[in-house]
Structure 1
Amino acid sequence: MADICLVSMPTLGRAKSPIVPHWMLWLSGYIEQQGYQVDVVDVKSSINDEFSEREKERVFREAIEQAVGSRSPLVGLSGFTEDYRELVKLAREIKKKSDAKIIVGGIHATVSPEDFFLKEDSPFDVAVVGDGEVPLTNLIEAQKDGTHSLEEISGLIFRKGKDIVHTAPQSVVPDLENMPLHPYHKLDMNFYLQPQQFLVRPIYLSGVHIFTARGCPYGCSFCANSGKKVRFRPLDSVIGELRYLKETYNIDGFYIHDDTFTIKSDRVIDFCEKLMALNYRFLWGMEGRVNQFPDSVFRVLKKSGCIQIDFGVESGSQESLNRMKKGITVKDTETVFSRCRAEKIRTYANMLINTPDETEEDVRKTVALMEKIKATVYGICVTTPYPGTEIYDRYVRPPLSVDEYQLYSNNKTYTSIVDPRFRLAAHALSIEELSERLGKRFMLSRTWQIMSLQPLYLRALFRSKRRVQYLSMFVFRLLRRVSTLFQKCLRSLPGSGNVSSKIL
């Protein structure tokens, strides 16, 4: 019997996601390093199958059965704000069938932990605020020896009778220098290493997301993870993880998912040099800030196999960037995209509409910048205020009830305004029509980028031990994409709504 069972959120979207649940790996690796045993429950569903209520129920029930079957005295759950209702449902079902204490963590438990204890009959026993490694280890120790009270453990919130108790904030965080190798063997790596489009978007690549650091020191008003000290893993540890993944699972590439990988230029250069010394010829991508790319970094990135950099461009209006507290300039964006084109490094530009107090002129400037920078791929999203962000506190009045958190699970959240309180823009343009027209102009025209027929990419595919998987996945998705586009064309109707042609 394990000391704790960690359960991945059993929604159908998560069950189909090819992105490794790193929170489970961080926590289980650390806890087992302290001498305790961890079970993980991570139910998966075929990526290629259609969504159905029957499959949704199967995934949910199987997760419950596995969690209860582990017979662990502690069960750990984690989720985002949009998972709130499902988290409560999952916790209640596990409680009905076991005596396990339910612990909840993740971003929502960190920014709004009291939400889990609003009712006296809450199925949750404890919420963890912040990093989970140390509090969970202390909870296991308290469960085993029975002498420590919850009040003595930092970083917790729990209900005691009619009161909600907050313990002291965490003063000790896990030392990333001594973190063990992720226990990837606990997951179904055959599922996660299928060629996917979520590593280097949107080309197909078999690999994993990795983290070389935690934290982000910047203060973007739309982000709940801002203003935190950056803690770095030793690069030898990161390289060791990549070596293990190649030798054990034959990955073809990876994506660095840090918020701020490029914050230290010397560290980026050191990483690239160590990566080249492996001689694995990985294809890889990363996130980057537009103002953190000196010439010395560019020279080594391409040489080490970096084929794409994803940037949070957000807007072409300096006024809008300032309101969002991005800490970058439009000129920074223009410069870095020009350099990427010169170095033949692919670019992904994330753009936002419905930004705080956005005007029609801000939209015009954004469209003009998108035309100018000529990103390889664009992501266009409607800015949505989430709990824990500055824009939520400013705009969402009254605040959402816990029952209204379900709004965030609406598939239209990224393309429309799903609640009047989510409208941040000052102009009267239809956000839905603006999103649709920008998508047609900058995204559909680049659909064929998924083919990515560059020699470097093709050589990597031919070398891969998964080349048959690549071919079958590519053909399947291409046929599905063509079918979808054809159906959309048939359904489309003329008319431009109230989005001015002068803007688009």
Structure 2
Amino acid sequence: MRILLVNPTTRIYAKGLSVKAQSPLGLLCLAAVLREDGHIVKIFDHNVENNGLKDCFKFNPELVGFTSFTGPMILDGLNLSEVFRTHLEVPTVWGGVHPTLLPAQTVSDPRVDMCVVGEGEATIVELADCLENSRDLSRVKGLVWKEVNNGNVKIIENDPRPFIRDLDSLPFPAWDLIDPEKYRATSMGIKKSSLSLYSVQSSRGCPFQCRFCYNTIFNQQKWRFKSAERVIEEISYLKEKYKIERINFKDDNFVVKKKRVEKICRELYKNNLDVKFAADCRVDLLTTQLAKFLRLGGCEQLFFGVESGSPRILRFIRKGITLPQAMDAVKICKKMKIMSSASFVIGFPTETMEDIKLTQAFITRLNPDDILLKIFVPYPGSSLFDYSVKNHLFNPPQKLEDWALSWANANYQLSSVPLNMLNRLAKTMVRSFYIRKFPSKIILFLMGLLKNRISLHRILFQGVKIITAYTD
């Protein structure tokens, strides 16, 4: 069976700088199991392929699959679904985070025929086999679909699909189906080296209970992992076949089982793979000993979800960390020469101006190497989504298309601070951070240029970032 897998575009631009498209790891994993089952697969990533529809029509797929998060990419996915259903008369199946959290609403859209709930590997293979052999769809676990009789639509939710217990049993992602070079971000027309064009998923899920995160529903608060041996095998394959220098660990939480991480790092060093990496880490899980192993294995950057400088807000969102733990984590990174990036969110329900001032002051005290700051948006599947709806702070869209249109601007008044003030505060906080960082960043990048041959355009890119902070 010929199967086309589509990654709809996010197409976000700011100040002439395009946000770097990330390689569609989820689709590469689906493609791998489908090919293993004898199907012919093509991937169309609308983020990097502007003129690829002609090739898709030439491929003449018998099934088209879409992946989507909540947000603007839903609209592009729906537009492409309509194109394929109209011109090729081919069924469409959606999967990913948003369709998993709202499957019935997703399938209710006339441009969507079926929906995969949860992990897609086993479900997509069974679905393809059923379609190819004209078998009953009701036997496919994890599938939501619809029957249409005389204009009457009946949505059918099959039995749920259990989680894949042995992640080591999955084949390597089908990297040969994309051109990783297309995922280098550009700045001022110059290709810049990214931290990684290649990603490795060493685990799935997260055992923690953050109220803003969809994971408590999507992965049911379960954490499953690949063995250290399998992770090394996958990285070795990428090194040998694609000569990689860096990878991103695309885990929801890389550092859950510390002994596993230590073993991965030891094996990376022992096998002399010479691969640098970045990963997500909770501040309460990082220790000096673990950081030594991470550095030994080639860790260049750790991403911390700090979220707030207000202890009250941290308790409210059930983050399960303390501000001293965040301070310690960043100090450890500085000591071990690992770049630290910290994410923050303002505009949580119940948040006050005093809470935001505490966050602003804490960012200064924490002094990580980089920050990401966003205004809170209630994502479906999260506890705070339910809280916002229950307390009449937010009316969720009733149609799939509306999730794309409303999320494009995401103008929701959920805290006691007016939205226009939140927007101004977010810009001010980011601007202040990078203005303070400007002298040290210039020195560090110049040192990197001399010692590590960091390309000049990376310095230029950071320079533009700082100038933007001054002038925005």
Query: Paired residue for 2:354?
Result: 361
CA offsets 1:48-73 (integer angstroms, 9 cap, x no match):
xxxxxxxxxx82xx343333322221
Looking at structure 1, the residues matched to 307 and 255 of structure 2 have their Cα atoms a distance apart, in angstroms, of 18
Query: Paired residue for 1:41?
Result: 44
Cα 1:203/1:328, change in 2 over 3 Å: farther
Query: Paired residue for 1:401?
Result: 398
Query: Paired residue for 1:392?
Result: 385
CA offsets 1:430-478 (integer angstroms, 9 cap, x no match):
101111211111134335738843867855447xxxxxxx44x437636
Q: CA RMSD in A?
A: 2.8
- SS at structure 1 position matched to 2:27: helix
Report the alpha carbon displacement of residue 43 of structure 1 after superposing the two structures with TM: 4.6
Looking at structure 1, the residues matched to 460 and 115 of structure 2 have their Cα atoms a distance apart, in angstroms, of 42
> Larger deviation: 430-439 or 449-458?
449-458
- Correspondent of 1:137 among 109, 122, 125: 125
Report the alpha carbon displacement of residue 214 of structure 1 after superposing the two structures with TM: 0.7
Query: Paired residue for 2:166?
Result: 175
- Correspondent of 2:115 among 113, 123, 127: 127
Looking at structure 1, the residues matched to 368 and 19 of structure 2 have their Cα atoms a distance apart, in angstroms, of 28
CA offsets 1:79-108 (integer angstroms, 9 cap, x no match):
122122222211111111113211111111
Report the alpha carbon displacement of residue 355 of structure 1 after superposing the two structures with TM: 1.6
- SS at structure 2 position matched to 1:388: coil
CA offsets 1:96-138 (integer angstroms, 9 cap, x no match):
111321111111110011222335xx12221111111111111
CA offsets 1:302-355 (integer angstroms, 9 cap, x no match):
222212211000111221011111111222112222222222322111111112
- SS at structure 2 position matched to 1:313: strand
CA offsets 1:165-218 (integer angstroms, 9 cap, x no match):
1111113537311111222111012323x4789xxxx98435423210011121
* Residue 5, structure 1, aligned to residue 1, structure 2: no
Cα 1:13/1:24, change in 2 over 3 Å: farther
- Correspondent of 1:248 among 241, 252, 267: 241
CA offsets 1:217-262 (integer angstroms, 9 cap, x no match):
2121111123431111122222122222222222221222212111
Structure 1, unmatched stretches of 5+, are: 46-57, 463-469, 493-504
- Correspondent of 2:332 among 335, 339, 345: 339
Looking at structure 2, the residues matched to 206 and 171 of structure 1 have their Cα atoms a distance apart, in angstroms, of 32
Q: TM-score under structure 2 normalisation?
A: 0.87
Q: TM-score under structure 1 normalisation?
A: 0.81
Equivalent positions of 1:189-208 (< 5 A) are: 189-192=180-183, 194=184, 204-208=194-198
> Larger deviation: 346-355 or 78-87?
78-87
CA offsets 1:386-417 (integer angstroms, 9 cap, x no match):
2222222221443223343234553xx5xxxx
Query: Paired residue for 1:498?
Result: none
Looking at structure 1, the residues matched to 268 and 448 of structure 2 have their Cα atoms a distance apart, in angstroms, of 17
> Larger deviation: 94-103 or 331-340?
331-340
Query: Paired residue for 2:434?
Result: 443
C-alpha contact (below 8 Å) 2:287/2:329 kept by paired residues: no
Equivalent positions of 1:35-434 (< 5 A) are: 35-43=38-46, 45=48, 59=50, 62-82=51-71, 83-119=73-109, 122-146=110-134, 148-161=135-148, 162-171=153-162, 173=164, 175-192=166-183, 194=184, 204-226=194-216, 227-396=220-389, 397-402=394-399, 403-407=401-405, 409-410=407-408, 413=409, 418-419=410-411, 422-428=412-418, 430-434=421-425
CA offsets 1:482-501 (integer angstroms, 9 cap, x no match):
7756xx63xx6xxxxxxxxx
Cα 1:72/1:207, change in 2 over 3 Å: closer
Cα 1:431/1:475, change in 2 over 3 Å: closer
C-alpha contact (below 8 Å) 1:220/1:326 kept by paired residues: yes
C-alpha contact (below 8 Å) 2:142/2:158 kept by paired residues: yes
C-alpha contact (below 8 Å) 1:64/1:90 kept by paired residues: no
Cα 1:480/1:440, change in 2 over 3 Å: closer
Give the number of equivalent residue pairs.
Answer: 449
- Correspondent of 1:30 among 28, 33, 43: 33
Looking at structure 2, the residues matched to 383 and 425 of structure 1 have their Cα atoms a distance apart, in angstroms, of 9
- SS at structure 2 position matched to 1:349: strand
Looking at structure 1, the residues matched to 33 and 308 of structure 2 have their Cα atoms a distance apart, in angstroms, of 40
Q: Which amino acid aligns with 1:401?
A: Q
- SS at structure 2 position matched to 1:331: helix
Query: Paired residue for 1:52?
Result: none
Q: Which amino acid aligns with 1:137?
A: V
